[in-house]
């Protein structure tokens, strides 16, 4: 009864508000940047499928929680006998966050570029003849649909109703567009509890009061809306949901409702994972999201487990003949377990030991993989500079907890390249005196950092106010040994109390956003504060940044970056590992005895598997099998030789001695899950 | 005596061999109607289990509901028996107790324990006061087997006592692109996978001179007779390896969604949490019944009552919850002689993604897992054997013979009359040539002998019933209504809990895992203000946030305790005062505002 009454009052108030202030509120609407709606994405995909019917197939990997299809475009030419799903393939994924509309544009445009090149450009013709490309342009359609609804509300979660405030009611208190401008912005209200003040330098911006300077807080900030369930909180339990890009399996954040109840709890996550595990021929992944893991290689997580020396608990140590107080490498423990003879038939390796001792998962890049990323980072940065996109280095985010790209590297074990494509440009500051800033350090490779020399590094540490025990010599050693990366270093400097960022100390951290709105967007990125009579809070002011300001630029601002990133993605695809048999030999050692030699080479730039792929057991070893017929017999060598990895360009010689009839043939099959198989027949004579 | 045992075992095997539904005996139940009489001296295959459950459901429709909560990979129904006395209230308003067994396909006796619990509750209803009390204010959700595929595989196909632990979705164990292409082979056709050895004067094993069935490691200076060649099998796929990719190959009790880790950290965890139909069925079933607050899962073996955490990284269980576990777990050691109550990661080994942690840590349900049965061999006691094995390392080593240690072999020879033993017999192996095959059969290890199974069933059922009895039993102990001068009413109410389990676990309250308890008024009444009386002598009250006709009780009612509430109510006439707990039950009382 009384709830009805409140609603009625609200309605009256709202109509009054519109009536009294008709002009300022009806003018502002989220600017239309002509991004493709879900329906338009679908029709683009259908158009591509119609135009390139022999190359494309459109299907769905599943539905979102809200019941929307998650589309998959399969690109492969049927020229080859090998079925597309058995070929080495690349997966392109976009917009797991829902706010990253530029990513969807990039994925579609990458698809179109490659399809256009088929039959025109030899490289891409061969590529589609021999390999497959999978494009998933929207992983989180529930969130994307929010961009195209009114009122506009930045939304990164799917449609799964969640009781955010744990009161037994679900989605009972979401935001409302009180001023009817089609946007959910902020409310500021004067309150004795307030800890925000209006920034004296820029009265449109708010900043926390600094009690040390004698400032007293005056305002509380809320998102725009009512206290619908009269619990004293505003907008604490809105519609939906779970953030898909926090719902993946690596370093999942339990007990955070936004991340989901458990990893892969959401249908979107499950659909993508199921697709990936059903296609374990995916050799590389290109991801478009707000994370850029080529510029910021910093990974989530705290512990560095598994790689170091560990103690064996007393109750096991004595059984294994080890000292309980000594540290051993996992390999040593594995050896001890094997030689104890007590483990029976179980095959013991370092992973098993790590499991047995409960050491947990990898949390940092494997060193050899990091070297690959650092090499690619150089190439990427040069490209960014060339295209005038180097501002992207400024505020790059690394992969977050439970994010899709983190899963791709740590668990799926393939090279993953995540691109954010665009950020609100921050004007270059001239007042930075120091030669080196954390931002500059962050984007350096370990080698570049060491190349600065001890003096410069010492200067940097001093300027950053590093504690005296962290001296240059020590830092150099840590970077050399791989214990520390420049990115990690930069983060430490920024995170330590009083850490120096690049901004002048007094500048409001949102000032550059306002500047971007004022200049580039001609003021369309900000709603000026206007008084509103709020039924729960009394007089408030509504205003602030327009939703999606940080993630979605006008399309013309994006063109240059799209062009570069599509080119660069294509470059990455050209680096895939390719196995080939360079040469075979059959030497006669005696009557009916042959030495068979096979030279195998990885002709690609990337290794046949990442170290993390091997560790996570998802990259299978290269199996070189010798297929003998009934009359042939293996004299020396194994019927199946296993090669764990071939680095880019590396070759490997394999030898067998075979007893066989003169003139007979021998087949060699080279197979692994993420490279195209090779088969050769060797004639013995 | 021996003859009887043999007979029982024979009977058990006849039943095992039958693939059709079992000849369940019909008897007259207490209320003069046909009720199935089940026996617990043998193991039920899935068809027999299905038939037994259906007959129980038909015989006790007012107490038992039988539902299929999903299908296994191969399409078998996963059954759940829901046992509730509907006359005393709907299921969702009573604390629920959950039981499952046999998640590991080879760990079969949990199913008999679960089935026995169903049987016991139904057949003792109306006859035993303790059972009637349980049926009146608790609900039981019992899943006798969550892995019916591997259960039937274990019972009917050639295997050993350790497999299939997995479910039966094909799985590429050796990462060669082929699925389940090289499992063990029953070369001698005896229905069990035993071991292979080859005579070799330079071998590192020998026959025990006193008992040639026993194969033991040679000590330095002793002359060898054999080399050990592992489990019975051949190289089916010609890759040079034997038995490297058998049926399935994953572990469903590492596939649950809490503290889950990928395969390289936790072998067998599967591609992602709840990737298997069986684990999904269990997840959905438990989550669809949020009134469940106690749970028990059954494994074998070792004689253990386990609780989480399964891994060190989870830290210690919150003290308040630990006290509940300890209280019940220690009683368990008395109900189950020889069983030890221990913590999984500390006292056993690390388990990531186990069901115990998921059920407790994400759903707020107090959960135990029992490792059913331990080796009650002959002669030496358990403690004595541990002592000697630690005393001298060389003899300790010798004990780890894969084929069976001396006490075990002697037990098989003298107690089981060799029924579960395969004497070493010659065989011509395609790769190894002349070998011998022998050892303990699949039913000779980890599962109790038929004469032990009834005891395993009853004592573990008793432990479940004890735990179920210790779920919260809330009551409105005192209600005092006082009319104030202003015309408002002050209602003082004490909500008590007679049992050890709180209505909300400390962890659930801390992590906000489910909605809190609520106090509501119904009728012509409105709560103006309310609080928790923290000091009844000085009348100190901690205010709570009131929402019209109800307020939340964030921490619930503690075990063996009470909470005093004071409400200020505007209203008149007869109203309902309600204590509504998601997991602790639903209480209602009429009070007059005069």
Complex prediction ipTM? 0.91
Compute the distance between CA of residue A234 and CA of residue A245 in angstroms, rounded to an integer.
Answer: 26
Compute the distance between CA of residue A388 and CA of residue A386 in angstroms, rounded to an integer.
Answer: 6
pLDDT in tens, A149-185: 989 999 999 999 999 999 989 999 999 999 999 999 9
Q: Which residues in chain B touch residue A623, judged by CB atoms under 8 angstroms apart?
A: 176
Question: What CATH number should be reported for the domain whose range is A57-162+240-304+364-423+552-574?
Answer: 3.40.630.10
Q: Which of B262, B345, B355 best tests the A interface by mutation, with the highest count of A CBs <10 A?
A: B262
Please answer yes or no on whether A356 and B349 come within 8 Å at the CB atom: yes
Question: Reduced to 3 states, what is the DSSP secondary structure of residue A171?
Answer: coil
Query: Is the CB of residue B76 less than 8 Å from the CB of residue B85?
Result: no
Query: Is the CB of residue B443 less than 8 Å from the CB of residue B161?
Result: yes
For B335, the token pair is 């109900």
Q: Which residues in chain B touch residue A639, judged by CB atoms under 8 angstroms apart?
A: 238-240
Determine the average pLDDT of the residues in A302-319: 64
Is the CA virtual torsion A466, A471, A474, A479 positive or negative?
positive
The reply to whether B64-154+252-373+452-469 and B474-593 are identical in fold is: no
Q: How far apart are the first and last CA of chain A?
A: 96
- B27 φ, ψ (degrees, to nearest 5): -135, 175
Q: Which residues in chain B touch residue A341, judged by CB atoms under 8 angstroms apart?
A: 217, 397, 400
The reply to whether A57-162+240-304+364-423+552-574 and A579-683 are identical in fold is: no
Q: Which residue has the higher pLDDT, A261 or B349?
A: A261
B474-593: which CATH number, 1.10.3470, 1.20.1080, 3.30.1490, 2.60.40? Answer: 2.60.40
A254, A411, A673 ranked by CB distance to B258: nearest: A254
Query: Is the CB of residue B142 less than 8 Å from the CB of residue B91?
Result: no
For A97, the token pair is 């966050």
Query: Is the CB of residue A218 less than 8 Å from the CB of residue A195?
Result: no
Residue A3 has pLDDT above 80, yes or no: no
Q: Of B103, B100, B136, B134, whose CA–CA distance to B120 is shortest? A: B134
DSSP state of B64: E
The region that residue B561 occupies, defined by phi over 0 for left and psi between -120 and 50 for alpha, beta otherwise, is: beta
| Partner B contacted by A163 (CB < 8 A) | yes
- Tell me the shortest Cα–Cα distance from A205 to chain B, in angstroms: 34
> Quick one: pLDDT at residue A459?
75
Pairing of the two strands B292-300 and B96-101? parallel
Residues 6+ apart with CB under 8 A from A355: B265, B266, B267, B350, B352
A263, A269, A358 ranked by CB distance to B312: nearest: A358
> Quick one: pLDDT at residue B17?
40
Question: What CATH number should be reported for the domain whose range is B64-154+252-373+452-469?
Answer: 3.40.630.10
Residue A32 has pLDDT above 90, yes or no: no
Compute the distance between CA of residue B474 and CA of residue B502 in angstroms, rounded to an integer.
Answer: 9
Please answer yes or no on whether A354 and B265 come within 8 Å at the CB atom: yes
> Quick one: pLDDT at residue A480?
79
Q: How far is CA A477 from CA A67, A375, A641, B175, B234, in A?
A: 53, 21, 39, 39, 53
| Partner A contacted by B257 (CB < 8 A) | yes
Residue B16 has pLDDT above 80, yes or no: no
For A134, the token pair is 């999978």
Residues 6+ apart with CB under 8 A from A113: A566, A570
Determine the average pLDDT of the residues in A104-123: 97
A166, A341, A355 ranked by CB distance to B265: nearest: A355
B264, B271, B397 ranked by CB distance to A351: nearest: B264
Determine the average pLDDT of the residues in A670-674: 96
A648: exposed, middle or buried (Cβ count in 10 Å: 0-12, 13-18, 19+): middle
Given pLDDT bands bounded at 50, 70 and 90, which one contains residue A442? confident
Task: State the helix-helix crossing angle for B148-156 and B46-59, rounded to 10 degrees.
Answer: 120
Q: Which residues in chain B touch residue A270, judged by CB atoms under 8 angstroms apart?
A: 272
Compute the distance between CA of residue A571 and CA of residue B37 in angstroms, rounded to an integer.
Answer: 72
Please answer yes or no on whether A673 and B177 come within 8 Å at the CB atom: yes
Print burial letters for A515-554: b (CB count within 10 Å at least 16), e (below 16): bbbeeebeebbbbebeebebebbeebbbbbbbbbbbbbbe
Compute the distance between CA of residue B141 and CA of residue B278 in angstroms, rounded to an integer.
Answer: 16
**Beta-carbon contacts below 8 Å between A and B:** 122
B259, B273, B545 ranked by CB distance to A231: nearest: B545
Q: Which residue has the higher pLDDT, A80 or A651?
A: A651
**Total residue length of chain B:** 594
Q: Which residues in chain B touch residue A410, judged by CB atoms under 8 angstroms apart?
A: 262
Residue A581 has pLDDT above 80, yes or no: yes
Q: Which of residues 392-421 of A touch B (CB under 8 A)?
A: 410-411
| Partner A contacted by B519 (CB < 8 A) | no
Q: Which residues in chain A touch residue B265, judged by CB atoms under 8 angstroms apart?
A: 351, 354-355, 359-361
Question: Reduced to 3 states, what is the DSSP secondary structure of residue A459?
Answer: helix
Please answer yes or no on whether A263 and B176 come within 8 Å at the CB atom: no
A2, A255, A273 ranked by CB distance to B271: nearest: A273
Q: Which residue has the higher pLDDT, A30 or B4?
A: A30
Scanning B22-147, the segments in alpha helix (DSSP H) are 46-59, 109-124, 129-137
Please answer yes or no on whether B547 and A263 come within 8 Å at the CB atom: no
Compute the distance between CA of residue A230 and CA of residue B526 in angstroms, rounded to an integer.
Answer: 15
Please answer yes or no on whether B264 and A616 come within 8 Å at the CB atom: yes
B175, B258, B552 ranked by CB distance to A620: nearest: B175
Task: State the helix-helix crossing angle for B129-137 and B109-124, rounded to 10 degrees.
Answer: 100
Query: Is the CB of residue A501 less than 8 Å from the CB of residue A494?
Result: yes
| Partner A contacted by B391 (CB < 8 A) | no
Q: Which of A260, A263, A343 best tests the B interface by mutation, with the highest count of B CBs <10 A?
A: A263
Q: Which of A358, A413, A629, A675 best tests the B interface by mutation, with the highest count of B CBs <10 A?
A: A358
**Total residue length of chain A:** 685
Given pLDDT bands bounded at 50, 70 and 90, which one contains residue B18? very low
Compute the distance between CA of residue A302 and CA of residue A361 in angstroms, rounded to an integer.
Answer: 11
Query: Is the CB of residue A259 less than 8 Å from the CB of residue A265?
Result: no
pLDDT in tens, B508-525: 999 999 999 999 999 999
Compute the distance between CA of residue A674 and CA of residue A413 in angstroms, rounded to an integer.
Answer: 11
Q: Which residues in chain B touch residue A273, judged by CB atoms under 8 angstroms apart?
A: 271-272
Q: Which residues in chain B touch residue A614, judged by CB atoms under 8 angstroms apart?
A: none
Compute the distance between CA of residue A213 and CA of residue A191 in angstroms, rounded to an integer.
Answer: 20
A230, A273, A623 ranked by CB distance to B272: nearest: A273
Query: Is the CB of residue B269 less than 8 Å from the CB of residue B254?
Result: yes
Determine the average pLDDT of the residues in A519-531: 94
Q: Which helix (H) or strand (E) holds B459?
A: helix B453-469
Q: Which residues in chain A touch residue B514, judged by CB atoms under 8 angstroms apart?
A: 166
| Partner A contacted by B516 (CB < 8 A) | yes
Assigned CATH topology for domain A579-683: Immunoglobulin-like (2.60.40)
> Quick one: pLDDT at residue B7?
46
pLDDT in tens, B196-219: 999 999 999 999 989 999 998 888
Separation of CA A657 from chain center:
48
Compute the distance between CA of residue A311 and CA of residue A176 in angstroms, rounded to an integer.
Answer: 57
Please answer yes or no on whether B358 and A232 come within 8 Å at the CB atom: no
Q: Which residues in chain A touch residue B352, judged by CB atoms under 8 angstroms apart?
A: 355
Beta strands in B377-524 (DSSP E): 421-429, 433-440, 474-483, 489-497, 517-522
**Mean of per-residue pLDDT scores for chain A:** 87
| Partner A contacted by B273 (CB < 8 A) | yes
Q: Which of residues 249-268 of A touch B (CB under 8 A)?
A: 249-250, 252, 254-255, 261-265
A232, A249, A342 ranked by CB distance to B262: nearest: A249
pLDDT cut 90: percent of chain A above it: 66
Other CB atoms within 10 A of residue B530 CB: 21
Chain B residue with CA closest to A232: the answer is B545
Domain ranges of chain B: 64-154+252-373+452-469, 185-238+377-444, 474-593
pLDDT in tens, B360-395: 999 999 999 999 999 887 655 555 555 555 555 556
Given pLDDT bands bounded at 50, 70 and 90, which one contains residue A326? confident
Q: Which of A4, A164, A167 best tests the B interface by mutation, with the highest count of B CBs <10 A?
A: A167
Q: Which residues in chain A touch residue B231, judged by CB atoms under 8 angstroms apart?
A: 345
| Partner A contacted by B267 (CB < 8 A) | yes
Domain ranges of chain A: 57-162+240-304+364-423+552-574, 163-232+510-520+527-549, 310-356, 438-501, 579-683
Q: Which of residues 526-555 of B touch A (CB under 8 A)?
A: 545, 547-548, 552
Please answer yes or no on whether A262 and B547 come within 8 Å at the CB atom: no
Given pLDDT bands bounded at 50, 70 and 90, which one contains residue A314? confident
Q: Which residues in chain B touch residue A274, judged by CB atoms under 8 angstroms apart?
A: 271, 275
């Amino acid at each position: 009864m009384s709830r009805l009454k409140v609603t009625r009052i609200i309605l009256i108030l709202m109509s009054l508000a519109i009536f009294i202030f008709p002009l300022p509120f009806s003018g502002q609407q989220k600017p239309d940047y002509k991004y493709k709606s879900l329906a338009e994405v679908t029709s683009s995909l259908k158009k591509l499928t119609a135009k390139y019917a022999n190359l494309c197939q459109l299907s769905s990997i599943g539905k979102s929680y809200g019941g929307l299809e998650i589309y998959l475009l399969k690109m492969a030419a049927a020229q080859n006998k090998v079925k597309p799903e058995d070929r080495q393939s690349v997966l392109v994924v976009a917009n797991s966050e829902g706010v990253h509309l530029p990513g969807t544009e990039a994925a579609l445009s990458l698809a179109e570029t490659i399809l256009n090149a088929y039959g025109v450009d030899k490289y891409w013709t061969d590529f589609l003849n021999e390999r497959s490309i999978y494009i998933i342009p929207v992983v989180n359609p529930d969130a994307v649909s929010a961009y195209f609804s009114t009122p506009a509300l930045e939304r990164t979660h799917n449609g799964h109703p969640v009781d955010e405030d744990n009161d037994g009611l679900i989605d009972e208190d979401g935001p409302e567009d009180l001023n009817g401008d089609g946007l959910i912005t902020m409310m500021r209200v004067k309150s004795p509890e307030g800890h925000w003040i209006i920034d004296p330098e820029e009265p449109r911006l708010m900043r926390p009061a600094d009690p040390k300077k004698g400032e007293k807080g005056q305002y509380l900030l809320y998102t725009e809306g009512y206290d619908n369930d009269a619990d004293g909180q505003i907008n604490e339990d809105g519609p939906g949901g779970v953030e898909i890009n926090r719902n993946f399996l690596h370093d999942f954040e339990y007990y955070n409702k936004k991340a989901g109840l458990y990893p892969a709890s959401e249908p979107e996550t499950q659909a993508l994972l199921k697709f990936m595990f059903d296609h374990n021929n995916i050799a590389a992944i290109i991801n478009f999201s707000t994370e850029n893991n080529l510029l910021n290689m910093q990974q989530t997580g705290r512990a560095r487990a598994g790689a170091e020396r560990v103690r064996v608990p007393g109750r096991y140590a004595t059984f294994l003949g080890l000292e309980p107080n000594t540290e051993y490498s996992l390999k040593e423990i594995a050896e001890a377990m094997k030689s104890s003879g007590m483990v029976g038939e179980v095959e013991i390796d370092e992973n098993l030991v790590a499991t047995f001792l409960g050491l947990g998962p990898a949390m940092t890049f494997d060193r050899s993989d990091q070297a690959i990323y650092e090499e690619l980072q150089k190439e990427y940065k040069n490209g960014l500079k060339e295209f005038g996109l180097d501002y992207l280095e400024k505020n790059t985010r690394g992969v977050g907890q439970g994010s899709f790209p983190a899963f791709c590297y740590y668990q799926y074990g393939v090279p993953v390249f995540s691109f954010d494509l665009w950020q609100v440009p921050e004007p270059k500051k001239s007042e930075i005196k120091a030669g080196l800033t954390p931002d500059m350090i962050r984007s350096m490779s370990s080698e570049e950092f060491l190349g600065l020399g001890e003096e410069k590094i010492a200067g940097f540490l001093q300027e950053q106010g590093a504690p005296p025990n962290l001296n240059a010599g020590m830092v150099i050693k840590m970077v050399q040994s791989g214990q520390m990366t420049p990115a990690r270093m930069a983060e430490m400097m920024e995170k330590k109390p009083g850490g120096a960022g690049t901004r002048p100390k007094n500048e409001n951290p949102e000032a550059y956003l306002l500047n971007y709105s004022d200049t580039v967007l001609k003021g369309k990125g900000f709603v000026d504060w206007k008084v509103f009579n709020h039924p729960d809070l009394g007089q408030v002011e509504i205003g602030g940044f327009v939703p999606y300001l940080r993630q979605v630029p006008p399309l013309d601002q994006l063109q240059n970056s799209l062009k570069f990133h599509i080119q660069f993605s294509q470059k990455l695809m050209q680096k895939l590992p390719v196995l080939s048999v360079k040469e075979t030999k059959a030497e006669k050692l005696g009557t009916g005895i042959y030495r068979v030699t096979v030279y195998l080479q990885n002709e690609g730039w990337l290794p046949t598997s990442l170290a993390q792929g091997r560790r996570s057991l998802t990259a299978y070893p290269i199996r070189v099998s010798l297929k003998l017929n009934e009359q042939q017999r293996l004299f020396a060598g194994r019927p199946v030789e296993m090669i764990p990895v071939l680095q880019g360009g590396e070759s490997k010689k394999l030898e067998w001695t075979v007893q066989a009839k003169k003139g007979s043939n021998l087949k060699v099959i080279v197979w692994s899950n993420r490279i195209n198989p090779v088969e050769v027949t060797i004639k013995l004579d | 005596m021996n003859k009887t045992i043999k007979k029982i075992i024979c009977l058990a095997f006849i039943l095992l061999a039958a693939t059709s539904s079992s000849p369940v005996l019909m008897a007259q139940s207490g209320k003069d109607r046909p009720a199935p009489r089940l026996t617990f001296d043998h193991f039920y295959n899935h068809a027999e289990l299905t038939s037994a459950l259906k007959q129980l459901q038909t015989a006790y429709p007012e107490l038992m509901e039988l539902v299929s909560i999903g299908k296994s990979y191969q399409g078998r129904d996963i059954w759940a028996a829901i046992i509730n006395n509907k006359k005393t209230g709907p299921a969702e308003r009573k604390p629920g107790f959950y039981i499952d067994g046999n998640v590991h396909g080879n760990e079969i006796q949990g199913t008999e324990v679960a089935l026995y619990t169903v049987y016991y509750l139904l057949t003792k209803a109306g006859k035993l006061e303790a059972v009637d009390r349980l049926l009146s204010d608790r609900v039981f959700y019992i899943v006798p087997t969550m892995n019916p595929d591997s259960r039937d595989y274990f019972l009917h196909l050639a295997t050993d006592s350790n497999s299939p632990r997995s479910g039966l979705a094909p799985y590429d164990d050796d990462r060669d692109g082929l699925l389940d292409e090289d499992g063990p082979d029953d070369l001698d056709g005896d229905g069990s996978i035993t071991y292979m050895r080859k005579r070799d004067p330079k071998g590192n094993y020998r026959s025990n001179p006193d008992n040639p069935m026993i194969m033991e490691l040679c000590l330095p200076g002793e002359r060898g007779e054999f080399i050990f060649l592992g489990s019975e099998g051949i190289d089916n796929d010609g890759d040079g390896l034997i038995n490297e990719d058998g049926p399935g190959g994953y572990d469903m009790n590492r596939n649950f969604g809490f503290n889950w880790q990928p395969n390289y950290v936790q072998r067998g965890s599967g591609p992602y949490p709840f990737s298997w139909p069986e684990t999904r069925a269990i997840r959905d079933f438990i989550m669809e019944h949020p009134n469940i607050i106690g749970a028990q899962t059954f494994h074998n073996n070792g004689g253990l009552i386990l609780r989480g955490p399964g891994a060190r990284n989870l830290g210690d269980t919150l003290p308040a919850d630990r006290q509940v576990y300890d209280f019940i777990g220690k009683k368990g050691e008395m109900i189950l002689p020889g069983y030890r109550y221990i913590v999984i990661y500390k006292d056993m080994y690390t388990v990531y993604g186990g069901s115990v942690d998921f059920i407790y840590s994400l759903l707020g349900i107090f959960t135990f897992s029992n490792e059913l049965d331990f080796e009650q061999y002959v002669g030496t006691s358990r403690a004595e054997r541990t002592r000697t094995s630690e005393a001298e390392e060389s003899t300790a080593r010798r004990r780890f013979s894969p084929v069976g240690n001396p006490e075990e072999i002697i037990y098989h020879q003298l107690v089981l009359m060799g029924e579960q033993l395969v004497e070493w017999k010659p065989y011509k192996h395609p790769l190894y040539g002349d070998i011998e095959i022998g050892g303990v059969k699949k039913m000779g290890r980890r599962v109790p002998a038929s004469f032990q199974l009834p005891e395993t069933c009853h004592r573990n059922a008793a432990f479940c019933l004890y735990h179920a009895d210790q779920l919260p039993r809330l009551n409105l102990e005192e209600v005092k209504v006082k009319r104030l001068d202003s015309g408002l009413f002050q209602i003082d109410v004490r909500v008590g809990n007679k049992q050890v389990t709180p209505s909300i676990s400390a962890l659930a309250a801390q992590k906000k895992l489910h909605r809190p308890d609520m106090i509501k008024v119904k009728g012509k009444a409105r709560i103006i203000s309310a609080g928790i009386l923290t000091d009844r002598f000085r009348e100190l009250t901690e205010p709570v946030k009131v929402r019209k006709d109800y307020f939340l009780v964030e921490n619930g009612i503690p075990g063996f305790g009470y909470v005093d509430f004071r409400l200020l109510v505007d209203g008149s006439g007869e109203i309902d005062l309600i204590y509504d707990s998601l997991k602790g039950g639903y209480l209602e009382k009429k009070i007059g505002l005069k």
